[in-house]
């Protein structure tokens, strides 16, 4: 496994690696966990070469405190990747990725104005900026994203279509802790007591799935919100049941679409997201 930190080094390495066959790519912001490793393993199974990027992208943070708190430990990340099948790690600096400001504005319509887009203005534009830059440089055949970031995955698919990029986007299952909490780099910012209580988020989503049809959509949204908010450690920012394609609100269970319950919850100062397919 090789580590490179500049675009020049990346381009030189990719020229050789592409001769070996298809390239699978896993973009990350580091602070790697088993969820990330599962993405790498999926990429390894489906490609001849696997590239992982580690870069905390400042343009997708609308909260400077959140950016500064985001966990960073390159040595630990490299140790996790050592036996994963990864061939190349690209870990650039901010100056390397943004030698000049990226002023591009992407338009994703209604899928960027709901949920995460509503509460994190500018977030998805920053995501599109960095992912398109990485795609342009690495030129992967396939790119792997976790379903935990469900709305982000929808945005990335839209960006690929808009820019007519020759890359297949591969969704990968949510990986959970033993207590059900969706694995996230932000989990390591939780103390032990917060971690224990944060498991209520996923457990409530699992229970909600069993209540589909027994409660109306509106009643289920209220039930999930109230149940989680009843825990003093947790505060729901949003819980919405949406169409899995256009991310618009579901009004009735009878609608002919796949319905996904998406949630964002503050556990102390740490913001956690999760989702569950409800049908």
Give the pairing type, strands 23-28 and 49-54. Answer: parallel
Q: What is the mean pLDDT of residues 50-57?
A: 97
| 36 tagged catalytic | yes
The values of phi and psi at residue 48, to 5°, are -85, -25
Q: Give the pLDDT score at 226.
A: 98
Domain ranges of the chain: 2-172, 185-274
Residue 45 has pLDDT above 90, yes or no: yes
- pLDDT score recorded for residue 16: 95
What are the tens digits of pLDDT across the range 97-124? 999 999 999 999 999 999 999 999 999 9
Residue 63 and residue 43: Cα distance in Å, rounded?
Answer: 32
Task: Report yes or no: 153 and 135 within 8 Å, Cβ to Cβ.
Answer: no
Residue 177 has pLDDT above 90, yes or no: yes
73 bridge partner residues: none
pLDDT of residue 169: 98
Residues 128-145 pLDDT 10s: 999 999 999 999 999 999
Model pLDDT, residue 179: 95
Q: Mean pLDDT across the stretch 10-18?
A: 96
Q: Name the residue among 28, 14, 168 with its Cα closest to residue 88.
A: 14
Span 63-86, pLDDT tens digits: 888 899 898 999 999 999 998 999
Report the pLDDT averaged over residues 55-65: 92
Question: What's the order of all strands across the beta sheet hosting 168-172?
Answer: 2-4, 88-90, 49-54, 23-28, 142-146, 168-172
**Residue 152 pLDDT:** 97
Look-up of token digits 């997708």: 60
Output DSSP code: residue 255. S
Residue of 31, 172, 171 lying closest to 91 (CA atoms): 31
Query: How confident is the model at residue 175, as a pLDDT?
Result: 97
Lowest-confidence pick of 42-46, 52-56, 62-66: 62-66
CA distance 89 to 28: 10
2-172: CATH superfamily: HUPs (3.40.50.620)
- Looking at domain 185-274, its CATH architecture is 2-Layer Sandwich (3.30)
How does the average pLDDT of the chain come out, rounded? 96
- The rounded distance, in Å, linking the Cα atoms of 65 and 175 is 27
pLDDT given for residue 215 in this prediction: 97
Whether 53 and 27 have beta carbons less than 8 Å apart is answered as yes
The span from the CA of 39 to the CA of 54, in Å, is 14
Could you give the CA distance from residue 189 to residue 270 in angstroms, rounded to a whole number? 7
| Catalytic site residue from 36, 123, 249, 252 | 36
Are 46 and 170 in contact, with CB atoms under 8 Å apart?
Answer: yes
Residue 181: Cβ-neighbour burial (10 angstroms; 0-12, 13-18, 19+): buried
What pLDDT does 229 receive? Answer: 98
pLDDT per position as a tens digit, 181-211: 999 999 999 999 999 999 999 999 999 999 9
What tokens appear for 85 in the block? 């099948």
pLDDT of residue 65: 86
**pLDDT score, position 55:** 97
């Amino acid at each position: 496994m090789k580590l490179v930190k500049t675009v020049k080094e990346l381009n030189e390495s990719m020229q050789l690696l592409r001769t070996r066959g298809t390239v699978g790519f896993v973009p990350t912001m580091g602070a790697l966990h088993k969820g990330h490793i599962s993405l790498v393993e999926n990429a390894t199974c489906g490609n001849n070469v696997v590239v992982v990027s580690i870069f905390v992208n400042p343009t997708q943070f609308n909260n400077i405190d959140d950016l500064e708190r985001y966990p960073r430990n390159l040595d630990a990340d490299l140790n996790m990747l050592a036996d994963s099948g990864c061939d190349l790690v690209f870990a650039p600096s901010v100056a390397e990725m943004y030698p000049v400001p990226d002023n591009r504005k992407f338009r994703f319509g209604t899928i960027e104005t709901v949920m995460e887009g509503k509460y994190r203005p500018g977030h998805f534009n920053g995501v599109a900026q960095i992912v398109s830059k990485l795609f342009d440089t690495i030129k992967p055949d396939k790119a792997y994203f976790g379903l935990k970031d469900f709305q982000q995955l929808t945005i990335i698919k839209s960006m690929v279509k808009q820019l007519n990029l020759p890359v297949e986007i591969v969704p990968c299952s949510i990986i959970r802790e033993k207590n059900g909490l969706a694995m996230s780099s932000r989990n390591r910012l939780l103390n032990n007591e917060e971690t224990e209580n944060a498991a209520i988020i996923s457990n409530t989503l699992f229970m909600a799935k069993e209540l589909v049809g027994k409660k109306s959509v509106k009643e289920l949204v209220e039930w999930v919100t109230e149940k989680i908010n009843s825990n003093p450690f947790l505060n729901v920012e949003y819980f919405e049941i949406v169409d899995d394609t256009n991310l618009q609100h579901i009004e009735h269970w009878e609608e002919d679409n796949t319905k996904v319950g998406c949630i964002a919850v503050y556990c102390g100062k740490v913001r956690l997201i999760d989702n569950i397919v409800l049908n």
